[in-house]
Amino acid sequence: MAKEKEFVKDIADIHENFPQWYTDVVLKTQLVDYGPVKGTMVIRPYGYGIWENIQKELDKRFKETGHENAYFPMFIPYSYLVKEAEHVEGFAPEVALVTHVGDNELPEKLVVRPTSETIICDMYSKWVQSYRDLPVLINQWANVVRWEKTTRPFLRTSEFLWQEGHTLHRTEEEAREETLKMLGVYEEFAKNILAIPVFTGRKSDKEKFAGARETYSMEAMMQDGKSLQAGTTHFFGTNFSEAFNIKYLDSDGVQKSPYQTSWGVSTRLIGALIMTHGDQRGLCLPPYVAPIQAVIIPIAMHKPGVVEKAEEVKSALAKAGIRVKLDASNQTPGWKFNEYEMKGVPVRIELGPRDIENGVVTYSRRDKVGEKFTMPIEDLVTELPKLFADINENMYNKALAFNNSHVKTVSTKEEIKEAVDTGNFALGMWCGDRACEDLLKEEMQVTTRNMPFDQTPVGDKCCVCGKCANKKIYFGRAY
Amino acid sequence: MAKEKEFVKDIADIHENFPQWYTDVVLKTQLVDYGPVKGTMVIRPYGYGIWENIQKELDKRFKETGHENAYFPMFIPYSYLVKEAEHVEGFAPEVALVTHVGDNELPEKLVVRPTSETIICDMYSKWVQSYRDLPVLINQWANVVRWEKTTRPFLRTSEFLWQEGHTLHRTEEEAREETLKMLGVYEEFAKNILAIPVFTGRKSDKEKFAGARETYSMEAMMQDGKSLQAGTTHFFGTNFSEAFNIKYLDSDGVQKSPYQTSWGVSTRLIGALIMTHGDQRGLCLPPYVAPIQAVIIPIAMHKPGVVEKAEEVKSALAKAGIRVKLDASNQTPGWKFNEYEMKGVPVRIELGPRDIENGVVTYSRRDKVGEKFTMPIEDLVTELPKLFADINENMYNKALAFNNSHVKTVSTKEEIKEAVDTGNFALGMWCGDRACEDLLKEEMQVTTRNMPFDQTPVGDKCCVCGKCANKKIYFGRAY
């Protein structure tokens, strides 16, 4: 431990000051930097590399489920925002407004999109005429702007990157199915690509998206026991399609309003994976999104043939589609071990004269720091992909065990407070009244997270007001 | 021709009204639609699919040449824009300004990026300290905003999508090399992926980027003989790095300003490929960016086994990585032929009972309308990629022949006018004076396009003023 402390002296203690640990890690590993305008972030290449891998994996899943990408303008006439009453109420205070071009004032102020329901509905109202035009299954990758008072890199920034799916359906049933299907896509992605086990369920009316009839979320539990809402899907019914006059002629000759959904995840996911998997040494990145999946560190580099062999191994791995880096710089191996541990590289491969002589490499796993393994050099290409799968599974299981041991079943307000104060989610019954949510928020900064699909009761009284209750819900503090 | 006319009656005549032909084609093929805010466009799935393929191919090339992606905030403090004198002069009149968030006025107005030199330089000034930090090779994929008076989908829109590379180098030589290297990447991409032969060269001072020391461009010739600036690379010298105080400690212990470049292409490229390859039937898309590379049209669909066989062929092609669509809808084959010709799908595969019996398919190429070919069904997977290469080459050669026959060597102002009025580029000598450029612009709406690298003189007097001239340059009208 002495050695570890020495290396990581610039990173705050993860147990004593989790928020500072987070800030130290994201800055020191060069994932991100602060932009000049308050609340904005620069996503540096190492951070953007994670986002590119997230995009690639999600985009594949969206296309496999029949969606296409498009791009809608970022500027929305202010009058559009007002068309759906709940929507404007939710977003108006935090929208950035373009009022001028050069020295000239615009005839109507423009909203920089906080989300794109309104402008997309406007276009859909032109594109959809007949039942044959349905379903519409479109996704957009874009930047959005929501002005926030308190900001933190990835978690909450004025501008962030995301995807937003916007779909139209002929029947309510099909739209509801889409809402849950995409929640399932997010959950599977979180598990198999980010190694994050999530809590899925329905949001309360207070916590739902402004303008939605129902919102579903996946909540991820951070290592301080707080919740991070990592993705949402919304069922709109016909709220927006009526407000924006989207109509189609059905096969029975009747004009109807289609049912609508939207769903999104953002660069917040990067914050989620840092706070799920990181440790005192820094990042621990899941292999399928790590910008560097394996780093090769030559030992005794001055010995003839070492760097050459390392280059050869690197080329073979790169050719096999593995994201590999060879660090043949002049730093000491010790410095390099520390550096790539901090950067969370899943696999470190050491290659020295003795290894080469024996035809093996020594390797270690970021998820099992301190253990060393060996394998024949020629097995690397076939074994590394299996190793990545094993690392992802191990990281997932570790996080799952953490989740499972940090949910406390509660039956009173005091127990909710006790649970969240000690770094847990509280699972209990709720009557469904907003007044109870408002009280929790005011008294203990706790919100309802979501209602799991398994609604097997854990009591019959509301934890807050004591009245009859039939909703099982997670309570927690949230990012 | 009668039949052709019948099918294409909603598309204006390409020879009589090229601008209207363009508008008809982009709207009817659903590449794009107009956004609600003046000058904005919605890129619909079929158009965005082209952009995704452009991105994939370019991004691969950027990474192969050592660049990494990052993301910088879209909002830039107004004070940044002012730091480089030429830069603010060039961009200030057309920038969109955010002045309010909700009801609150911001302390400083924010520029919605028209390009990101200023904010990126600000970050680089923090990141770069030592010669060991050089070179910096970063690219960004992003949306940018430039308010334009006259707009047309893809060609000139208030908001557009692009990539912008921003690099820092230790030596002037290395930065100059990067500027030309990336121009070469663009040119190779234009040729091998877009099938567009371009004119590369250096821009005049009047036409260069605001703040650059030198700008290079690739100009594409449209079928009306006008030029479309399709990509630019800029050598900044130390203009920006001095304005933004980017300094590094060199190995000799001296603080120095690094040399800088930037380079970009945008969604304009989609406009370029439409106007290079399109014809009276509509789009003709180069195979490597076509969202649908091959469409399968079953003939006599009611006959047993036809649709099943078509599905089987489709699966085999999709599995081989070919972007294939099977249209088994109820429309007639004739309607489908017309539809996919208009949409520019490179290869059409017909599959009927007799084809199946003979183990062949009938296919046709969008670049050779009217001809029909056959091949054994089992050869499709191996032959289609070769066919795509041949189509790309054929389209490129056709466009190259057009280019070559539409350059007129000129020696007077009148000859310049005659050449461009009849749909050509004019190639002649220029003294280098801006006054001559201003005069051409005023008298005949002609601009200098660029000075080719081959400067073998075609005279020794300036076409405009008649004075001694040693610069060979293309003159033309431009989009």
Q: Least CA distance to B40: which residue of chain A?
A: A73
Comparing CB atoms, the residue among A40, A75, A99 nearest residue B159 is A75
Q: Which residues pair with A101 in a beta bridge?
A: A104, B96
Nearest-CA neighbor of A256 among A134, A397, A424, A136? A134
Q: Least CA distance to B74: which residue of chain A?
A: A159
Pairing of strands B425-430, B360-365: unpaired
Contact criterion met (CB < 8 Å) for B45 and A119: no
Pairing of strands B136-145, B68-69: parallel
A430-436: average pLDDT:
98
Look up the ipTM and state it: 0.96
Q: Report chain B's mean pLDDT, rounded to a whole number.
A: 96
By 3-state DSSP, what share of chain A in percent is helix, strand and coil, each rounded to 5?
40, 30, 35
Comparing CB atoms, the residue among A45, A70, A92 nearest residue B48 is A70
B309-316: average pLDDT:
97
Residue B58 Cα, gap to closest chain A Cα (Å): 15
Q: How confident is the model at residue A415 (pLDDT cuts 50, 70, 90)?
A: very high
Determine whether B254 is exposed, middle or buried from the number of CB atoms within 10 Å of its CB (0-12, 13-18, 19+): exposed
A264-293: average pLDDT:
98
Interface contacts (A, B; CB < 8 Å)? 156
Q: Does B460 touch chain A (CB under 8 A)?
A: no
Is B208 in contact with B201 (CB distance < 8 Å)? Answer: no
What is the pLDDT at residue B90?
A: 86
Q: What share of chain A has pLDDT > 70, as a percent?
A: 98
Residue B457 Cα, gap to closest chain A Cα (Å): 43
Residue B234 has pLDDT above 70, yes or no: yes
| Sequence-ordered strand ranges (E) for B149-285 | 159-169, 198-202, 214-221, 227-237, 248-249, 255-256, 259-266
The pLDDT tens digits of the residues spanning A381-412 come to 999 999 999 999 999 999 999 999 999 999 99
Q: Which chain B residues contact residue A47 at CB under 8 A?
A: 70
Q: How confident is the model at residue B8 (pLDDT cuts 50, 70, 90)?
A: low
The pLDDT tens digits of the residues spanning A280-333 come to 999 999 999 999 999 999 999 999 999 999 999 999 999 999 999 999 999 999
Segment holding B185, helix H or strand E: helix B172-192
Q: Which chain A residues contact residue B165 at CB under 8 A?
A: none
**Which residues, at least 6 apart from B82, have a Cβ–Cβ distance to it below 8 Å?**
B88
The pLDDT tens digits of the residues spanning A39-50 come to 999 999 999 999
Q: How confident is the model at residue A87 (pLDDT cuts 50, 70, 90)?
A: confident
What is the pLDDT at residue A83?
A: 87
Residue B5 has pLDDT above 70, yes or no: no
Segment holding A437, helix H or strand E: helix A434-444
Query: Picking from A112-126, A127-141, A314-328, B3-17, which range would have the lowest pLDDT averaged per residue?
Result: B3-17
Pairing of strands B360-365, B373-376: antiparallel
In Å, what is the CA distance from B440 to each residue of A275, B432, B449?
Answer: 62, 13, 12
The pLDDT tens digits of the residues spanning A220-235 come to 999 999 999 999 999 9
Residue B2 has pLDDT above 60, yes or no: no
Mutation to test the B interface, candidates A34, A46, A72, most B Cβ within 10 Å: A72
Comparing CB atoms, the residue among B37, B75, B158 nearest residue A37 is B75
Question: Which residue reads 């590993």 in tokens?
Answer: A29
Q: Which chain B residues contact residue A94 at CB under 8 A?
A: 101-102
Mutation to test the B interface, candidates A41, A78, A101, most B Cβ within 10 Å: A101
Q: Least CA distance to B68: which residue of chain A?
A: A45
Q: Which chain A residues contact residue B42 at CB under 8 A?
A: 70-73, 123
Domains and CATH numbers, chain A: 2-277 (3.30.930.10), 294-386 (3.40.50.800), 407-476 (3.30.110.30)
Chain B, 9 to 48: residues with Cβ < 8 Å from chain A are: 33, 35-37, 40-45, 47-48
Contact criterion met (CB < 8 Å) for A99 and B101: no
B309-314: average pLDDT:
97
What is the pLDDT at residue B212?
A: 94
Comparing CB atoms, the residue among A70, A74, A96 nearest residue B101 is A96
- Amino acid at site B469: A
Q: Which residues pair with A167 in a beta bridge?
A: A137, A261
Is B138 in contact with B69 (CB distance < 8 Å)? Answer: yes
Q: How confident is the model at residue A90 (pLDDT cuts 50, 70, 90)?
A: confident
Q: Which chain B residues contact residue A158 at CB under 8 A?
A: 73, 75
Separation between Cα atoms, residue A231 and residue A196, nearest integer Å: 12
Q: Which residues pair with A260 in a beta bridge?
A: A168, A237
Residue B280 has pLDDT above 80, yes or no: yes
Comparing CB atoms, the residue among B45, B100, B119 nearest residue A97 is B100
What is the pLDDT at residue A8?
A: 55
Contact criterion met (CB < 8 Å) for B102 and A80: no
Residue A242 Cα, gap to closest chain B Cα (Å): 19
| Sequence-ordered strand ranges (E) for B62-152 | 68-69, 75-77, 96-101, 104-112, 136-145
Pairing of strands B32-34, B471-476: unpaired
Contact criterion met (CB < 8 Å) for A159 and B75: yes
* Helix-then-strand count for chain B, H and E: 15, 24
In Å, what is the CA distance from A340 to each residue of A283, A308, A346?
Answer: 9, 21, 9
Contact criterion met (CB < 8 Å) for B119 and A45: no
What is the pLDDT at residue A4?
A: 47
What is the pLDDT at residue A51?
A: 98
Comparing CB atoms, the residue among B44, B143, B147 nearest residue A70 is B44
Q: Which chain B residues contact residue A80 at CB under 8 A?
A: 36
Chain A, 64 to 83: residues with Cβ < 8 Å from chain B are: 68-77, 80
Comparing CB atoms, the residue among A48, A76, A77 nearest residue B70 is A48
**Which residues, at least 6 apart from B18, have a Cβ–Cβ distance to it below 8 Å?**
B222, B223, B224, B275
Chain A, 130 to 159: residues with Cβ < 8 Å from chain B are: 138, 142-143, 145, 147, 158-159
Comparing CB atoms, the residue among A33, A51, A159 nearest residue B123 is A33
In Å, what is the CA distance from B136 to each residue of B169, B250, B255?
Answer: 7, 15, 17
Q: Does B161 touch chain A (CB under 8 A)?
A: yes
What is the pLDDT at residue A361?
A: 96
Nearest-CA neighbor of A82 among A106, A125, A117? A117
Q: Least CA distance to A77: which residue of chain B?
A: B37
Pairing of strands A159-169, A259-266: antiparallel
pTM comes to 0.96
A350-376: average pLDDT:
96
Torsion angle in degrees (nearest 10) through CA of B164, B169, B174, B179:
20
Comparing CB atoms, the residue among A70, A93, A119 nearest residue B36 is A119
What is the pLDDT at residue A5?
A: 47
- Rounded to 5°, the CA angle B84-A161-A75 comes to 70
Residue A127 Cα, gap to closest chain B Cα (Å): 10
What is the pLDDT at residue A2?
A: 40
Q: Which chain A residues contact residue B99 at CB under 8 A?
A: 97-100
Q: How confident is the model at residue A9 (pLDDT cuts 50, 70, 90)?
A: low
- Amino acid at site B258: P
Residue A146 Cα, gap to closest chain B Cα (Å): 9
What is the pLDDT at residue A168?
A: 98
Residue A370 Cα, gap to closest chain B Cα (Å): 31
Q: Does A63 touch chain B (CB under 8 A)?
A: no
Mutation to test the A interface, candidates B34, B46, B98, most A Cβ within 10 Å: B98
Residue B125 Cα, gap to closest chain A Cα (Å): 12
Q: Which chain B residues contact residue A36 at CB under 8 A?
A: 73, 76-77, 80, 119, 122
Separation between Cα atoms, residue B427 and residue B408, nearest integer Å: 6
Nearest-CA neighbor of B322 among B278, B273, B367, B386? B386
The pLDDT tens digits of the residues spanning B411-455 come to 999 999 999 999 999 999 999 999 999 999 999 999 999 999 999
What is the pLDDT at residue B218?
A: 98
Is A192 in contact with A283 (CB distance < 8 Å)? Answer: no
